[in-house]
Amino acid sequence: MLEPNRLFPKRHQSTLPCYMGDQLIQGDMRPAGLYFIKIHKCASTTSATIATNIARRHALKRNESICRVTKNGFFFKNDRNACKVAFAHNHASEIPYLKKRSKSKTLLWTFIRDPTSRFISWFYHVEVSREGKSERELVSQAKIARSDFMYEFTQLDRRTRIRHYDRESLNMSHRLNVTNEMIQAVLDQYDFIGLTERFHESSVVMKILWGLDFGNLLYMNSKRSGSESDSFDNKCVKLRKSNVSSTEQLYFQSSHWKSKVKGDEMFHAAVNRSLDLTINRVIGKKFFDVQLSAYENLLKRAQDHCMPSTIFPCDKSKNITRRLRRIDHRPSFKKVANHHKFDVGTNSTEEKIQMDTDMYGPCKPCYLRDIGCGFKCLDDFYARESF
């Protein structure tokens, strides 16, 4: 079987879906709107910022009024007519009817990451920084981590996810063929999949394919390991930088770990191939390189300009910023952490977040929590730069 790959398609901005109201189009059991599948420790906060930028800026370009967040915090919509965007740490198969989506009425994308790097980042962010566990528990946690977490997380059909476990009884050759088939199916189901390691490149590919402007891609980094704090349950915690010992590195090179992440490594390689193919065959390498250079230059200047005025959830003293205290109502992260160990078949409302409905008020420093911090300054900067 050929190695899985896809040329991600172009889609003009005028055809991007912009819907209001309930999750389902009335009279049609298929979802509509913008859907970002948010995978743990795959630049998910930054990607959610860009997803919300797209929803808000696309609505404004259509002369609609600004989007608002629904009371359950899962879908963003306007009181009248604006773009709806959904993102949460849920398996794609847990979003109702998403597998039946109309591609003309939805935009579906995600980002993935090298599985070993992703797991280590998750362990230090959640287990060490937030839960206070010892760094020396890294290998013991890795041994009970779920196999092929990312490509299972992105599958739209729960029956396909169950099929994943049947692969264990197959011989290696047949198992690789089945995995390749499943990865190809995921690639074909999504409008775009990017790589965390190639985040700027992936973002520029999205920008070109979907006819966006650079203003959609501007963000401030709210989580910087070792230098910033992270807000969680109305308190701030210092992010601990990963420190993997030589003994622990040996485990991550072992056949036991490699077997556990084989599917995710194949998935990552397939997305990497697809990015290169899309850049070379759909966009054109020379044009892409010019766009990438322009974006990285603009982003650096925008971040330098807006950093002094940007209010993050935690201040330098590791305290919750006063203006954000009343809107940080996240549930316990233990439910999220369990995604790495067990098949969570619970109702997705476990991770829905109660948020203030005034999502884009002039006094809000962020869209919500640490997503989109500094968006007003970035908007103003881009408006001046693009005038």
pLDDT band for 360, please (50, 70, 90 cuts).
very low
Q: Is the pLDDT of residue 67 over 50?
A: no
Paired sense of beta strands 192-195 and 229-232, if any: unpaired
Residue 258 lies in a domain: no
Average pLDDT estimate for 127-151: 94
Most confident region among 27-31, 143-147, 354-358 by mean pLDDT: 143-147
Residue 7 lies in a domain: no
Which of 155-184 are b and which e, b meaning 16 or more Cβ less than 10 Å from the residue's Cβ? bbeeebbeebeebeeeeeeebbebbbebbb
pLDDT tens for 317-340 read 656 654 444 433 333 323 333 333
Paired sense of beta strands 229-232 and 75-77, if any: unpaired
- Find the helix or strand (DSSP H, E) in which 69 lies: strand 68-69
Q: Are the C-beta atoms of residues 333 and 232 closer than 8 Å to each other?
A: yes
Residue 345 lies in a domain: yes
Determine the Cα–Cα distance for residues 382 and 214; give it in Å rounded to an integer.
8
Determine the Cα–Cα distance for residues 87 and 91; give it in Å rounded to an integer.
11
Mean pLDDT check: name the lowest of 116-120, 166-170, 192-196.
166-170
Domain count, the chain: 1
For residue 176, the model assigns a pLDDT of: 83
pLDDT tens for 190-201 read 999 999 999 999
Q: Is the pLDDT of residue 170 over 80?
A: no
Q: Is the pLDDT of residue 145 over 70?
A: yes
Average pLDDT estimate for 339-351: 32
Residue 188 lies in a domain: yes
Query: Which tokens in the block code for residue 280?
Result: 């070379």
Give the residue from 128, 366, 340 showing the smallest Cα distance to 226: 128
Residue 140 lies in a domain: no
Full-model pTM: 0.83
Give the residue from 4, 334, 377 showing the smallest Cα distance to 185: 4
Query: Which tokens in the block code for residue 291?
Result: 């766009």
Q: Are the C-beta atoms of residues 197 and 113 closer than 8 Å to each other?
A: yes
For residue 163, the model assigns a pLDDT of: 53
Q: In which region does residue 146 sit, left (phi positive, over 0), alpha (psi from -120 to 50) or beta (all else)?
A: beta
For residue 237, the model assigns a pLDDT of: 82
Residue 5 lies in a domain: no
Determine the Cα–Cα distance for residues 16 and 277; give it in Å rounded to an integer.
23
Q: Is the pLDDT of residue 26 over 50?
A: no
Q: Is the pLDDT of residue 111 over 80?
A: yes
Residue 138 lies in a domain: no
Q: Are the C-beta atoms of residues 373 and 312 closer than 8 Å to each other?
A: yes
Look at residue 62 and give its three-state secondary structure. coil
For residue 324, the model assigns a pLDDT of: 47
Amino acid identity at 354: Q
Most confident region among 64-73, 177-186, 293-302 by mean pLDDT: 293-302
For residue 36, the model assigns a pLDDT of: 94
Contacts of 127 (CB under 8 A, 6+ apart): 133, 137, 141, 337
pLDDT band for 161, please (50, 70, 90 cuts).
low
Residue written as token pair 């590791």: 318
Q: When comparing pLDDT for 160 and 344, which is higher?
A: 160
Q: Which domain holds residue 332?
A: 13-113+145-245+264-385
For residue 336, the model assigns a pLDDT of: 33
Query: Which tokens in the block code for residue 265?
Result: 């490594």
pLDDT band for 28, please (50, 70, 90 cuts).
low
Look at residue 346 and give its three-state secondary structure. coil
Average pLDDT estimate for 205-209: 98
Residue 8 lies in a domain: no
Average pLDDT estimate for 255-275: 97
pLDDT band for 31, please (50, 70, 90 cuts).
confident
Determine the Cα–Cα distance for residues 21 and 7; give it in Å rounded to an integer.
32
